[in-house]
Amino acid sequence: MPIQSTLSPAPLLAVIAPLASTVFAAMPDFADYEAAPEPASTAAARTTVVADATSSPAARFSTLPLKQALKIWERDDIHLKDFKLEGVFLLVVAAYLACYFIGKSKNTDIAKKWWKNHGSVLSQQFVHVGAAKQSTGALTYSSPSEYISYASGRKTIKTATIFVDTVMRHDPISLLFDYGYRTLSEGGAGMLPVADRVTIEIEADEGAWGGYVWGLVEKGLMRAAREQRWDLGYTATKDHKDLPREYTVMSESAEITEFIMADKKFVEAVKNCNGALEYVIVSDQKKEAPNATKDLENSPRRITLSVRADKKSPELISAVIDLADHLAKATRSLRPEVTRKVTSNRADTRRKLEKLEKEAEAEELRAKRDRKKAEEEAERKKALSPEEQKKLLDKERQRAMKRAQGKGAKVRK
């Protein structure tokens, strides 16, 4: 049987306590430490810490009744200086929100004003204008800096899309970055400057006129137009005697330019536009560069007009819309030589794309063959015995060394 102790701890403590007191009393260091008073600086520091802890707002809040703690306007222990960081944050948020709503309102006013001055022209040219009635007339809100409208119901023209793009006044940070990038960077030189502008894209009925590219561009925007419009790569640049000096013609053929310039209404509208015109482009190609031959298919005839939103240009817009009728009539009078040149340009583009596609297909086939060969080689190596695998590795190592030595000798020569 296990032995159980019957001793109580009380007698043991009675014996040990006097002995411990005698031993500690015989130790002078311990006696000095025990008798030494607490330093004044330590005591003061402890008192200060306790006082600070009990006097902090959090501590005072926790000691007050809940209803009294929540009545901060009746408390004298809370001051505005305790909320400096929060105040700065609220000021920044308030400033940003103010810029957002003020900028958005300004952009809306610009869109309204432009539509007030030009909406009647579109209503006269088309049967149906606008997707829905909005506070900005027939314009539909797309974003704080963009409004869109549509028009349809006219001979020769299938549809027209109107984009009112304003400066991002609602987002000053993005506006500053965008302005700096377009002004200071090399990449920004190929972009249109920051401005309020209206772009009208007119899509013609299928086969309304022949396929070619022609443009009238403000000289200061020529680089941006070429970089943003792949189709202008078909054209050559030349000034025209009947147009203002600040504009230049970009055309595939001088004959195309002459029959477009025969539209006197259009020429007079350009002369009297007072700098509102940025560019007008007639094209049968897409704006983006094609990546494959399929991208050349089903490209509709389009007229793209860009004008400044802060200037009135109703006569110019009307003239560009009527230009579609002139193109449909005049295209039939082009000489066969001009038509063959235009067709040849597109055939060259197709041949280049077909060549690239064939090279890409051949490269893909080579990659497949290489992968298959590597897989077969890996399977063959797995079937070898350990000795054979070691010999094969030695041979491959020797070949690699010889190739490295051969390259080194060529470099020394």
The pLDDT-based confidence of 388 (bands split at 50, 70, 90) is confident
Higher pLDDT, residue 355 or 69? 355
Mean pLDDT score of the chain = 82
The pLDDT-based confidence of 51 (bands split at 50, 70, 90) is very low
Least confident piece of the model among 61-65, 165-169, 249-253, 342-346: 61-65
Asked if pLDDT for residue 55 goes beyond 80, the answer is no
Asked if pLDDT for residue 61 goes beyond 60, the answer is no
Least confident piece of the model among 44-48, 56-60, 126-130, 239-243: 44-48
Q: Tell me the one-letter amino acid at 299.
A: S
- The first and second tokens of residue 230, run together, are 């792949």
- Using DSSP's 3-state secondary structure scheme, residue 77 falls into coil
Measured CA angle at 288 (ends 183, 253), to 5 deg: 95
Measured CA to CA, the distance from residue 210 to residue 204 in angstroms comes to 11
DSSP line for 223-235: HHHHHH-GGGGG-
Whether 200 and 304 have beta carbons less than 8 Å apart is answered as yes
Nearest residue to 215 (alpha-carbon basis) of 195, 230, 232: 232
For 8-26, the pLDDT digits (tens) are: 444 444 555 555 555 445 5
Whether 215 and 279 have beta carbons less than 8 Å apart is answered as yes
- The first and second tokens of residue 13, run together, are 């403590």
Q: Enter the pTM of the model.
A: 0.72
Whether 152 and 174 have beta carbons less than 8 Å apart is answered as no
Measured CA to CA, the distance from residue 352 to residue 358 in angstroms comes to 10
Query: Percentage of the chain surpassing pLDDT 70?
Result: 78
Least confident piece of the model among 26-40, 71-85, 191-205, 262-276: 26-40
pLDDT at site 134: 52
Residues near 336 by Cβ (< 8 Å), separated by ≥ 6?
none
Asked if pLDDT for residue 181 goes beyond 70, the answer is yes
For 255-272, the pLDDT digits (tens) are: 999 989 999 999 999 999
CA distances from 65 to 60, 68, 247 (A): 10, 5, 79
Instruction: Output DSSP code: residue 192.
Output: P
Whether 80 and 140 have beta carbons less than 8 Å apart is answered as no
